[in-house]
Amino acid sequence: MSSLVRPLRIILLGAPGAGKGTQTTRLLKRFPKVQSLSTGDVLRSQIAAGTRIGKEASDHIKQGALIPDTTMVGLVMSQLEQLKWLDPKASWLLDGFPRTYKQAIALDHSLDQNDCRLNMVVELDVDQKVILDRIEARWVHVPSGRVYNIDYNPPKVPFKDDITGEPLTKRSDDTAEVFQRRLDQYNKEIEPIKKFYSNKGVLYKVSGDTSDIIYPKLEALVLEKFG
Ligand code: ATP
Ligand code: MG
């Protein structure tokens, strides 16, 4: 099993429900040296812990709106330092950030200063009609961020996390109405972000309607460039 020959600094872009979390889990299993951070998971644990950021985030999330850029940029920058991701030798994957052009610029600036530029940005391209059809079947294990789909990717024991056996829950923002708003929001913000990364020559796209179709393409892409 080949591993990575140079550090991987990768971002997954994709509509809500496109399967960023699922692809992350699989990539990390295949490439254990890579660390990951999901801003959605970070925010959900801050909410669960009742922190100041959690309190600020909770209303925005419930309404399917984005958390303000200054809060998000501050949060991610401090995580990058804590996790030691600004070391050029580190390999990591960021899921859920950047979500706006401003966030992309802020991230780029900080990585540039530390000589650890992004070297791969992958758009997970899934038909949004397919996403809408399957979203109400999504259940999550909040502490780990593990994601299940009752129809396509069910847990071994119904409504229990495979690893810990703890109960799965529904995200309050996975209802049809809030979800449509999140999709609209994504479609509104994504074009300038894609343009920014495509100008830098790091943007790739993998298409497919299920995570099982997307994953082998994503793994092959990573191995082609970094294996
Ligand atoms: P999925 O979990 O299917 O990938 P998603 O990408 O919409 O869907 P999360 O990444 O879990 O969901 O994020 C959930 C919510 O957290 C978002 O709807 C938004 O309110 C907030 N959020 C997460 N990341 C950011 C960010 N970078 N900027 C602003 N808000 C964010
Ligand atoms: Mg997610």
Distance from residue 140's CA to the centre of ligand 2 (Å): 10
Residue 203 is encoded by which pair of tokens?
């943007």
Domain that holds residue 84: 9-127+205-226
Inform me whether the pLDDT recorded for 41 exceeds 70.
Answer: yes
Residue 214 lies in a domain: yes
Mean pLDDT of the chain: 95
**pTM over cut 0.85:** yes
Query: How far from 210 is each of 127, 142, 174, CA to CA, in Å?
Result: 10, 22, 18
Residue 64 lies in a domain: yes
Closest CA to 21 of 101, 107, 95, 105: 95
Residue 159 lies in a domain: no
Nearest CA to ligand 1 atom 10: 40
Residue 100 lies in a domain: yes
Residue 14 lies in a domain: yes
Contact present, 214 and 23 (Cβ < 8 Å): yes
Q: Which residues line ligand 1 (CB under 6 A)?
A: 16-17, 20-21, 39-40, 43, 60-61, 64-67, 72, 96-97, 99, 103, 173, 182
Inform me whether the pLDDT recorded for 1 exceeds 70.
Answer: no
Residue 188 lies in a domain: no
Number of domains in the chain: 1
Model pLDDT for residues 158-177, shown as the tens digit of each residue: 999 999 999 999 988 999 89
The whole-number average pLDDT for the span 57-84 is 96
CATH code for the domain in which residue 85 is found: 3.40.50.300
